[in-house]
Amino acid sequence: MLTETFIFALLWLAILYYFVYHWGKTDRPQKADVETMIPLFTGRPVMWIFVYPTTNSRNWADFGSRKMDAVNLPWVNLCVSSIVNQNPEYNIHIVTPTNLSLYLPEITFTPSDIQHQEELRDWIKWSLLAKYGGTWITPTCVCLESMYDITLLTESCEMAVIGCDSSTAVCLGDDDRVNTDVIAVRPKSAIAARIADAIGAFYNNKLASGYEFRQSEQYIVTQEIRKNRDSIMILPGGLDGTRTATGRPVSIENLLSQNEVAFPEKCRMVLMPDDILRRDIWGWFNRMSEKQVLMSDMCISRLLRESLPHDVVMMIVEDDGDEWPVTAASDILGKNVFNTQPQLITFSKA
């Protein structure tokens, strides 16, 4: 009898756990509401920022739900805020795997698929650009000026990209390799659709293991550029801050040092190298709070102070309270940010 009671109790606990886990989750993919979505694409051009969920340990009962759609790295938070501040002409859409179904219901994936971040991000990138058009910009970027005039170029061409990708040692000026971290695309672009289909084939055919190693996105984009040079405008390398005024690559050491970096005169943004997120040697920077980053004398700190509103910088730097106010970037910097989750971007306490 005792054994039967124990089994019965376990069964009820399993049912209760299933209900809470599968039906009580706040990060369940959202269903598209056409009437809600239409206003988001009218009146202004669209800018896309894609953010991956990060892990935490708030839900002790389930390791599978240890994630939240939030920018937990303070310097990335400041970068996104600089993008919002410098681009008031756009409707800025912050996309995550949670709200992706609002934009691309045709793309489905399981939580385990998120481990293949490179190809999933690229597939989402080109699918959004093919369907809606607009300007894609990586969140790990300090935006110094508006991107609006680059977006306007798509009125006379199908796509505008910045030449000379960051992995190229020498910028030759007329190279088919481009930086795909910043792209402006005309809506309903056939070129973007072909790129999205090609990357989607890698993902759906489970070829993800060698995707990054083969630089598959760069290869696919390069092939399309060679076939459609008349429809694609390649902008001068260096606009993205990956090159100095003399054409040399900007390294992580340059950005995290106190040295001055001579960026090109027309530099619009400074892209942070991916290795900052990948290598443990830069962990000290990833652990810095917004206040510590802004108060530092590093090159990247000076750029962030210049790109953000003065009152926002002072609010962060001068705060000595015990608790940091949870403030959405859209509340501080404008109402043109759509993320469907008001606390996606919050300032953390030092």
Query: CA 202 to CA 273: how far, in whole Å?
Result: 25
Percentage of the chain with pLDDT > 90? 25
Q: Which carries the bigger pLDDT value, residue 9 or residue 95?
A: 95
- Tokens coding 269: 């943004």
Please give the average per-residue pLDDT across 27-32, as a whole number.
43
Answer whether residue 127 is part of any domain: yes
pLDDT value for 283: 87
Asked whether 31 and 40 are in contact (CB, 8 A), the reply is: no
Read off the pLDDT of residues 194-211 as tens digits, 9 standing for 90 and up.
Answer: 999 988 887 777 555 555
Cβ–Cβ < 8 Å for 256, 314: no
Q: What number is the average pLDDT over the span 177-204?
A: 88
What residue ranges in 46-139 does DSSP mark as E strands? 46-50, 54-55, 67-68, 91-95, 134-137
Lowest-pLDDT range, 86-90, 263-267, 333-337?
Answer: 333-337
For residue 9, tell me if it sits in a domain: no
Let me know if residue 224 belongs to a domain: yes
Residues above pLDDT 70, as percent of the chain? 65
Q: Which residues contact 244 (CB under 8 A, 6 or more apart)?
A: 238, 250, 261, 262, 263, 264
Q: Is the residue at 133 inside a domain?
A: yes
Q: How confident is the model at residue 179 (pLDDT cuts 50, 70, 90)?
A: confident
Q: Which residue has the tokens 């290598």?
A: 279
- Name the β-bridge partners of 142: 270
Long-range contacts at 212-221 (CB < 8 A, ≥ 24 apart) = 212/118, 212/119, 215/167, 216/119, 217/118, 217/119, 217/122, 217/180, 218/165, 218/177, 218/180, 220/195, 221/161, 221/178, 221/180, 221/195
Residue 8 inside a domain? The answer is: no
Does the residue 151 lie in any domain? yes
Rounded CA gap, 101 and 34, in Å?
12
The answer to whether residue 348 is domain-embedded is no
Is the pLDDT reported for residue 68 higher than 60?
no
d(CA 39, CA 34): 9
- The pairing of strands 232-235 and 159-163 is parallel
Are 73 and 53 a contacting pair, CB within 8 Å?
Answer: no
Q: Is residue 23 part of a domain?
A: no
Q: Measured between alpha carbons, how far is 75 from 86 in angstroms, rounded to an integer?
A: 17
Domain extent, residue 327, equals 30-338
Give CA–CA dist 283/288, Å, rounded: 9
Q: Structurally, how many domains does the chain consist of? A: 1
Residue in the block written with tokens 């008349």: 230
Q: 106 is written with which tokens? A: 């045709």
